Structure 1
Amino acid sequence: MIKLKTGFKIIAGLIAFLAIASIGASFYFFHVAQVRGDKPFLSNAPTPKSSPVYQDEQDFLKLDKETLSLKNDGLTLKAWYVPAEKPTDKTVIVVHGFNSKKEEMTAYGMLFHKLGYNILMPDNRAHGASDGTLIGYGVTDKYDLIKWTNQLIKTNPKSEITYFGLSMGAATVMMASGQDLPKNVVNIIEDCGYSSVWDELTFQAKDMYNLPAFPLLYEVSALSKIRAGFAYGEDAASSVKALAHNKLPVLFIHGAADDFVPTAMVNQNYAATKGPREKFIVKGAKHAEALETDKAGYYAKVGAFLEKY
């Protein structure tokens, strides 16, 4: 009997230890995934001068910019506004990716500047010059995007607005597509966005740490629900679910060699949308490198899509 009781104590102790270790790990990975700060697993190297987009970035930085502010959820959000060379009602909102900022989207800004668009380039919450400590993965960011949209429309009721997003920004514009958007939003372009937060973080847990989703991701998702207001598996955190309600034209762009947001995800997103749709897969392009890999093809595809829709 004494040995049995001792055995139960050992087992109980092990269970308690594992539970504490699991909870500690979940707090650590929540911080890595969702709390503002440096992410050592991401490269922040500047664009080399040999890059096809280097000069575009430099040229965009020389353009006249106005810094705009927006209040949402008690946060002050910042954005650059760059008017087109010639007066136009066409405006694109360019949304950056995870742990990025508007300054890293200048090559895309120059693309739309050359196409004759006004450009609004926000810093997402918890990024760049904007307030916030928790990264929204597009779930909370989509509401900021819609508020920026309404601010543009208030300034110019005739605005014809395009949404463009890269990576997490792509998920943001896709998630926004499932909302009751103003009629001024006329089309959407997404580049390398994920199918859902759950799918992407499940992939990253396996790819980066060789960890299964259970139990850790469930625990981190629960922390997100408590602290950020959303769980990773909710419909609100799914691009696919949002696109199922979308009837706007969408151009889906992805790199064929993307090993950060798997290329297969673009097919899920493409299949889900209900409006006109086009797909552009760039051979040899890794994550968020489609423009740099095939600049001429990228320009041609985006230009043709905007001309058509």
Structure 2
Amino acid sequence: MPLLRSAAILTISTLAVWLSCSAALGVVMVEGALHPGRSRLTASQLDAAQDMAVRDNASFQELSLRAADSADLRAWLLQPAAWNHDTVILLHGQSDNRAGMLFNADLLLRHGYSILLPDARAHGQSDGPIATYGALESDDLHRWFLWLQQNHPPRCIDGIGNSMGAAQLLESVAINHYCAVIAESPFATFREAAYDRVGQQFDTGPWLGRTLLRPAVELGFLYARSRYHIDLAHASPLPAVAASHTPILLIHGLADNNLPPRHSVLLAAADRAAQLWEPPATGHCAAFSTHPVEYEQRVLDWLATHTQH
């Protein structure tokens, strides 16, 4: 009997320590995700954007917009002199800012597209105490979409996003009627991305987050709801993609070890009309670096094919 009692005490103590460590890990990971490093816009980045506008014979405008929670959101609007009457919203990744999408902007300006380059909330020059990976950003994007329709009405509004921006773009197809979108290296759900992040902490695959450290993920989500009133389970492109009729091109490098290609495979399975390009030997959001000619051709063809005349 004393042996059984000792075993029970040991089991309960082990479970208590395990849950406590899982809770601590969950809190640390959620705090890190909600408060990513902020890359403020620099003078050299502003100069690069303005130089690009001059080189591409485009107008350059600074914009500001109020979010639902009164956060001040910032963006650039560039319009080429030979505008084709389509506008593309370009969305950057985590801890980046709008200048991170200047390559895409240059490509599209040279082909007649006007460009909206927003800083996501809690990134760049945009306000907001936390990043929420689509939970709040979907409405932010809807406000930018409406601003374009009311103040700069195009024939088509398209979207291109990288990583976090790609996921936010896909989440927003539920409320924004894009002509077409292109998402490179998105996550399928924030929960699946959390499994990856847990595995990356211990150099394992996502199985660790799904099994032994599942409590860390779930307790982290619970902490976000309790502390910040944000349900990170809603940061999920998957249901929006499954219900969408928007033409979606997914790009995911097969060597991406940040957000593995299975995320885009899951998204493509949810929307049989979506196209998935998986360039080999390509890391996170690097298709334009490893396959520049094919990247340019695929992007331009996708947008042109889905233009509404």
- Structure 2 vs 1, CA of residues 75 and 196 (structure 1 numbering), >3 Å: closer, same or farther? same
> What is aligned with 1:187?
180
**Is the Cα–Cα contact under 8 Å of residues 280 and 301 in structure 1 kept in the other structure?**
no
Higher mean Cα deviation, 151-160 or 19-28?
A: 19-28
User: Pick from 48, 73, 78: which aligns with 2:74?
Assistant: 78
**Is the Cα–Cα contact under 8 Å of residues 36 and 94 in structure 2 kept in the other structure?**
no
TM-score using structure 2 length: 0.83
Shift of 1:290: 0.6
Segments of structure 1 that go 5 or more residues without pairing to the other structure are: 40-45, 47-55
Post-superposition Cα deviations, 1:134-175, rounded to whole Å, max 9, x if no partner, equal: 111123212111110000001134441001111111111111
Q: Distance in 2 between matches of 1:8 and 1:256?
A: 47
Shift of 1:187: 1.0
Shift of 1:206: 0.6
Q: How does 1:280-295 map to 2 (within 5 A)?
A: 280-295=277-292
User: Pick from 127, 140, 145: which aligns with 1:144?
Assistant: 140
> What is aligned with 1:90?
86
**Is the Cα–Cα contact under 8 Å of residues 254 and 278 in structure 2 kept in the other structure?**
yes
TM-score using structure 1 length: 0.83
> What is aligned with 2:245?
247
Amino acid in the other structure paired with 2:255: A
**Is the Cα–Cα contact under 8 Å of residues 166 and 190 in structure 1 kept in the other structure?**
yes
Q: Distance in 1 between matches of 2:18 and 2:132?
A: 29
Amino acid in the other structure paired with 2:64: S
Segments of structure 2 that go 5 or more residues without pairing to the other structure are: none
Q: Distance in 2 between matches of 1:277 and 1:204?
A: 26
Answering whether residue 256 of structure 2 is matched by residue 263 of structure 1, we say: no
Q: Distance in 1 between matches of 2:13 and 2:75?
A: 53
Higher mean Cα deviation, 203-212 or 97-106?
A: 203-212
Q: How does 1:1-309 map to 2 (within 5 A)?
A: 19-37=19-37, 60=52, 64-72=59-67, 73-177=69-173, 179-182=174-177, 185-209=178-202, 210=204, 212=209, 213-232=213-232, 234=233, 236-273=234-271, 276-309=273-306
Larger RCO, structure (CA 8 Å, separation 6 or more) = 2
- Structure 2 vs 1, CA of residues 21 and 118 (structure 1 numbering), >3 Å: closer, same or farther? same
Q: Distance in 2 between matches of 1:262 and 1:17?
A: 31
Higher mean Cα deviation, 132-141 or 245-254?
A: 132-141
Tell me, what secondary structure is at the counterpart of 2:89?
A: strand
- Structure 2 vs 1, CA of residues 85 and 295 (structure 1 numbering), >3 Å: closer, same or farther? farther
Q: Distance in 1 between matches of 2:31 and 2:108?
A: 35
Across the aligned residues of Structure 1 and Structure 2, the Cα RMSD in angstroms comes to 2.9
Q: Distance in 1 between matches of 2:239 and 2:222?
A: 20
Q: Distance in 2 between matches of 1:176 and 1:94?
A: 13
Could you tell me the percent identity over the aligned residues? 25
Amino acid in the other structure paired with 2:300: G
Post-superposition Cα deviations, 1:244-300, rounded to whole Å, max 9, x if no partner, equal: 1100111111112111111122121112126x4322221211001111111111111
Shift of 1:87: 3.3
Q: Distance in 2 between matches of 1:193 and 1:142?
A: 15
Shift of 1:228: 4.3
Shift of 1:80: 0.8
Post-superposition Cα deviations, 1:63-102, rounded to whole Å, max 9, x if no partner, equal: 6521101111220000011112313421000011111110
Q: Distance in 1 between matches of 2:192 and 2:31?
A: 19
Tell me, what secondary structure is at the counterpart of 2:76?
A: strand
Q: Distance in 2 between matches of 1:4 and 1:272?
A: 50
